[in-house]
Structure 1
Amino acid sequence: MSAGEVAGLVAAGAFLMLVLVLAVPILRLRHTVDAATRAITDLNEGTAPLLDNAKVTIENVNTALGQVHTTIDGVNLQLVKLDTMTGHIQSVTANVANLTTVVAAAASNPLVKVAAFGYGVRKAAAARRHADEDREVRATLKQRRKDARVSRRAGR
């Protein structure tokens, strides 16, 4: 055996080792590809009923939208009636406000006079009380001064 044959055997052994080392990940990759293929198949089988359900759901939604449009039309009719009623109520409210203003003006004028008279009487009574008190205080002070003068003259 020559050196070239030994080198060829070593190279063949190294190549065999490389093939064996690469065979393990390739076999594992095969299992992964099989699992992915099964998942895609399951997904395809599960998607068909979902799409059928989606078609039914879309038809139901369209039916519901038709009912919603009908309901909205009815609500719009009721809103028109409500708008008319609101206009009438606004007119009545304006009339009541005007009537209230007239009644308040008619009733408040005599009430204002009575209130003003009562206020004037209270002020006059208070002023009279203060005047009486002031008069008493002045008389007392005048008497004290007079008594003080008399006592000073008597003490001389």
Structure 2
Amino acid sequence: MTPTQIAALIVAGAFVLLVLLLAVPLIKLGKTLDEASTAIKKAQENSDPIFTGANTTITHVNTQLERVDGITSNAKTISGNVSALSSLFTATLGGPLVKTAAFSYGVSKALKARRKRKQEPTGRHFRRKNKGVRK
């Protein structure tokens, strides 16, 4: 054998050794990819019931939201009616009630002032609070 053939054999052996060393991680990577694809298939099979349940839940939530929307629209209508009724009450009875209250307040103030004037001494027309007592 010539030195060139020996060198070629050494290079070929090193190449085979390198291929064998690289084959081990490639085989492990292949097993990992097989496990990942198996996990993805299982997840896909198990996700169908989850999506069905989520779809049912969303349908129920939408139904409840429609009911709540109806309730809030009714509450809005009722509050508008109450506002209109209170405005009507204020316009119809508010003015006369305020006038009546002002009149009764004025009358009571006038009566109190008149009583107070009658009780004050004004010369010979003095009235005593206690009529039965004389000094």
Please indicate, yes or no, whether the TM-score normalized by the shorter chain is above 0.5.
Answer: yes
TM-superposition CA deviations, 1:6-43 (whole Å, max 9, x none): 11111112112211221222122112202210221122
Q: Structure 1: 5+ residue runs without aligned partners?
A: 119-156
Q: Counterpart of 1:2?
A: 2
1:47 maps to 47
User: In the alignment, which residue of structure 2 is the partner of 1:56?
Assistant: 56
CA shift digits 1:110-145 (9 cap, x unpaired): 546749x98xxxxxxxxxxxxxxxxxxxxxxxxxxx
Aligned residues between the structures: 117
TM-score scaled by length of structure 2: 0.64
Query: Alignment RMSD, CA only?
Result: 3.0
TM-aligned CA distance change 1:39 to 1:112, over 3 Å: farther
Amino acid in the other structure paired with 1:60: H
- 2:29 match: 29
| Partners of 1:23 and 1:95 in 2: CA distance | 103
Q: 2:106 corresponds to which residue?
A: 105
How much identity, in percent, do the aligned residues show? 26
Rounded Cα–Cα distance in structure 2 between residues aligned with 1:33 and 1:95: 89
**Correspondence 1:1-156 to 2 at 5 A:** 1-91=1-91, 92-111=93-112, 114=116
Change (3 A) 1:89 1:35: farther
- Higher relative helix content: 1
In our comparison, the structure showing a higher alpha carbon Rg is 1
User: Which deviates further from its counterpart, 94-103 or 21-30?
Assistant: 94-103
Shift of 1:48: 1.1
